[in-house]
Every structure is written in C-alpha cells, then in structure tokens.
C-alpha cells in the first residue's frame, strides 16, 4: 500500500448477493481500512461477515442496508473491534447516512464501534421516523468488560 492515492482496500460495488467475508484485520491488510465508494446492500438470502479488526469505512452520502432475509455478522473482540464509520480524516456526525435493518433481516454485532452516521435518507415514499433519530449521533455498540454499552 505504499505511494498510492489511498492506502486502503477500495471496493466500488456494494451489493452482497451470496456469502461474503470482508477481512481487514491487521495481519491481512496491515491495518489499512476497507473503503466502500457506494452504499452497501445485503440482499435477501445473502450474508455479509465482517471479520474482527476490520475498519469498514464509507464515503459521504452512503449507507449500509440489510434487506429482509439478509444477514450482517459483525462480531469483533476486545482486542480486535470492528469499526463502521466514515472515510474521512476528521469525522463528524452525518458523514455517512445510516445502518438500516429491514423487517426479517438478521444483525449480530458485538465489539463494533459504529459512529458518525446521522443523515436521514427517505426511501422514495416512505419516511421512517422511528429509526432515524437512533443514528443521528455517534453510537458505540459494544458489550463486554471494558467497552461501553
């Protein structure tokens, strides 16, 4: 990753239709993040696993959506938490849109630092005010000794 414009693994398409594992652990990418240049959609019947130690970063204006029947597994550890956040040097709330789980989806997350989301994106005709405020500010979703809940 030397002398590149971006020291990261950059992924352009964010549609998951099968079983996919994103592994950005230090021993795999030498600590470089995985950067998504588009929104990420986990479709019905698909499973996205994010390995411990992975930093999965999104460009401004993008989101993570887990469709009904889709699965997102993001199970970090105390030593190797997972980071979901914006791909900017000085992050601020609203730098990326949201993590949204649709009815019938499965999310299993632990030791995940989920922060700086906050832009509300309204699907063509349906506003979802019940989920929008939850992602307006930085959030940490972690459960274990030494991690906030």
Residues sharing a CB contact under 8 Å with residue 120, sequence separation 6 or more, in sequence order? 97, 98, 132, 136
State the pLDDT confidence band at 79, using cuts at 50, 70 and 90: very high
pLDDT at 10: 77
Residues sharing a CB contact under 8 Å with residue 82, sequence separation 6 or more, in sequence order? 50, 51, 52, 53, 54, 55, 56, 74, 75, 76, 109, 111, 112, 113
Number of other CB atoms surrounding residue 14 within 10 Å: 18
> 30-40 pLDDT, tens per residue?
778 888 888 99
pLDDT over 60 at 120, yes or no: no
Side-chain half-sphere exposure of 137, counting CA atoms within 13 A? 0
> 107-119 pLDDT, tens per residue?
999 999 888 887 6
When pLDDT is averaged across residues 71-77 and rounded to a whole number, the result is 93
When pLDDT is averaged across residues 12-35 and rounded to a whole number, the result is 86
């Amino acid at each position: 990753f030397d002398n590149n414009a971006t020291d990261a693994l950059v992924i352009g398409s964010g549609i998951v239709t099968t079983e996919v594992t994103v592994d950005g652990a230090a021993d795999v990418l030498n600590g470089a993040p995985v950067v998504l240049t588009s929104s990420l959609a986990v479709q019905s019947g698909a499973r996205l696993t994010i390995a411990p130690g992975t930093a999965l970063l999104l460009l401004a204006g993008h989101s993570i959506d887990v469709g009904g029947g889709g699965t997102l597994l993001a199970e970090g550890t105390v030593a190797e938490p997972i980071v979901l956040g914006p791909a900017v040097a000085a992050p601020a709330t609203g730098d990326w849109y949201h993590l949204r789980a649709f009815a019938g989806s499965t999310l299993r997350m632990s030791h995940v630092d989920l922060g700086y989301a906050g832009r509300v994106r309204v699907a063509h005709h349906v506003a979802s005010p019940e989920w929008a405020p939850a992602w307006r500010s930085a959030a940490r979703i972690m459960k274990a000794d030494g991690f906030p809940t």
